[in-house]
C-alpha cells in the first residue's frame, strides 16, 4: 500500500524554513519523500535546519533568501530546478508580525508588513508558476500553499495592520487559483490560516495584548487567549505542517482556491 500523502519524486521550496512552521513543513515534506529547498533570511540558521534533515546535501538544501527582494526569487526557483530536479510545491511561509492598535501603527510598519507578507507571496507565486506551468523549466504543474492567519479572516484587537496583509494573502490565493486553473497551468493554490501557534512569533501576540491594555502581563495574556480556544490549547507547528502536507500532496488534487483554518475552533466560537 502506498504512503498517504507521499511526496516521492516531488520538489518543494519552503520559505522562512529555518524554524517554526516553515521548518516543520520542510521536515514533513522530507519525511514524505520530497527533495526540499529550505530558504530563510538567516543563512546560518537555515543551513543548520537543512543539515538536521540530511546533512545539508542530497534531498535537503539550504539557501539564504530575503523574500522581500525581487531579485532573489528567480535564484531560489532556479536553485530548486537545477539542484533538486524541478519544482512541484511552493510554501510561501515567510512572514512577519507587527501588532499594536490602529492609532499607534505607522505607515512604515504597514509598508514593511506589506512587503514581507503580501509582495513576497506575489513574487513567489509568479516565479514558481513560471517554471511549474506547461513549457516551464519544471513543467509538471503543482501546488502552492500560502500561509495566512485567522487574523486574515476575522477582526482582532491590536492586529489591524497585520490582519490586513493576511487578508490580502487569502484573496490573492483565490484569484491566483482561479487564474491558474482557467489558463491550464495545472497549479493549485490554497491558503492556510493558523490560529495562535506555540512559536516565538506566536508569543508576540501575548506581548501585544499587554501593550494595548487587554492583559496585565504575558502569562495572563496566554491564559486569556487559551480560554478563547475551544480545544483549550495553543496550536503546534505540526498541526500546521500536517495541513500543508495534505495540500502539497496528490490526495488534495481537486482542491484549489480554498482557505483552511487550523485554530482549534477559535474562529468558530
CA-nearest of 78, 34, 74 to 58 is 34
pLDDT digits (tens, 9 = 90+) for 176-224: 999 999 999 999 999 999 999 999 888 899 999 999 999 999 999 999 9
C-beta neighbour count of 58 within 10 angstroms: 11
Say if residues 13 and 91 touch (Cβ distance below 8 Å).
yes
Give me the residues paired with residue 189 across strands.
144
Would strands 142-147 and 11-14 be described as parallel, antiparallel, or unpaired?
unpaired
The Cα–Cα gap between 236 and 233 comes to: 9
Q: What are phi and psi of 193, to 5 degrees?
A: -120, 90
The Cα–Cα gap between 145 and 128 comes to: 11
Q: Give the global pTM.
A: 0.96
Say if residues 125 and 190 touch (Cβ distance below 8 Å).
no
Active-site residue numbers? 162
pLDDT digits (tens, 9 = 90+) for 111-160: 999 999 999 999 999 999 999 999 999 999 999 999 999 999 999 899 99
**Domain at 11-194+236-262, CATH from 3.40.190.80, 3.40.50.300, 3.40.50.150, 3.40.50.720:** 3.40.50.720
Domain-wise residue ranges, the chain: 11-194+236-262, 196-234
Look up residue 182 and give its three cell numbers: 482557467
Look up residue 129 and give its three cell numbers: 508558476
Say if residues 6 and 220 touch (Cβ distance below 8 Å).
no
CA-to-CA separations, 73 to 25, 132, 175, 224, in angstroms, rounded: 19, 14, 21, 40
The Cα–Cα gap between 142 and 129 comes to: 9
Dihedral sign for Cα 222, 224, 229, 232, please. positive
pLDDT digits (tens, 9 = 90+) for 33-91: 999 999 999 999 999 999 999 876 679 999 999 999 999 999 999 999 999 999 999 99
Cα-to-chain-centroid distance, residue 206: 21
Amino acid at each position: 500500500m502506498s504512503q498517504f500523502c507521499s511526496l516521492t519524486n516531488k520538489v518543494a521550496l519552503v520559505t522562512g524554513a529555518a524554524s517554526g512552521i516553515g521548518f516543520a513543513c520542510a521536515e514533513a515534506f522530507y519525511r514524505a519523500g520530497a527533495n526540499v529547498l529550505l530558504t530563510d533570511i538567516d543563512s546560518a540558521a537555515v543551513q543548520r535546519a537543512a543539515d538536521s534533515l540530511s546533512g545539508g546535501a542530497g534531498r535537503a538544501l539550504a539557501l539564504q533568501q530575503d523574500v522581500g527582494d525581487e531579485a532573489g526569487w528567480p535564484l531560489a526557483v532556479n536553485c530548486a530546478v537545477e539542484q533538486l530536479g524541478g519544482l512541484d510545491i511552493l510554501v510561501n511561509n515567510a512572514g512577519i508580525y507587527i501588532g499594536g492598535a490602529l492609532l499607534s501603527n505607522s505607515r512604515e510598519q504597514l509598508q514593511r508588513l506589506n512587503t514581507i507578507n503580501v509582495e513576497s507571496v506575489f513574487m513567489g507565486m509568479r516565479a514558481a508558476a513560471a517554471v511549474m506551468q506547461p513549457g516551464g523549466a519544471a513543467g509538471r504543474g503543482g501546488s502552492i500553499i500560502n500561509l495566512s492567519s485567522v487574523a486574515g479572516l476575522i477582526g482582532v484587537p491590536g492586529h489591524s495592520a497585520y490582519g490586513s496583509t493576511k487578508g490580502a494573502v487569502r484573496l490573492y490565493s483565490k484569484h491566483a487559483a482561479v487564474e491558474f486553473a482557467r489558463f491550464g497551468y495545472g497549479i493549485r493554490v490554497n491558503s492556510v490560516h493558523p490560529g495562535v501557534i506555540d512559536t516565538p512569533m506566536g508569543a508576540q501576540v501575548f506581548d501585544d495584548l499587554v501593550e494595548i491594555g487587554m492583559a496585565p502581563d504575558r502569562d495572563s495574556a496566554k491564559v486569556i487567549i487559551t480560554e478563547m480556544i475551544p480545544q483549550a490549547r495553543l496550536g503546534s507547528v505540526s498541526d500546521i505542517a500536517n495541513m500543508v502536507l495534505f495540500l502539497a500532496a496528490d490526495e488534495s488534487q481537486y482542491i484549489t482556491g480554498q482557505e483552511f483554518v487550523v485554530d482549534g475552533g477559535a474562529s468558530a466560537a
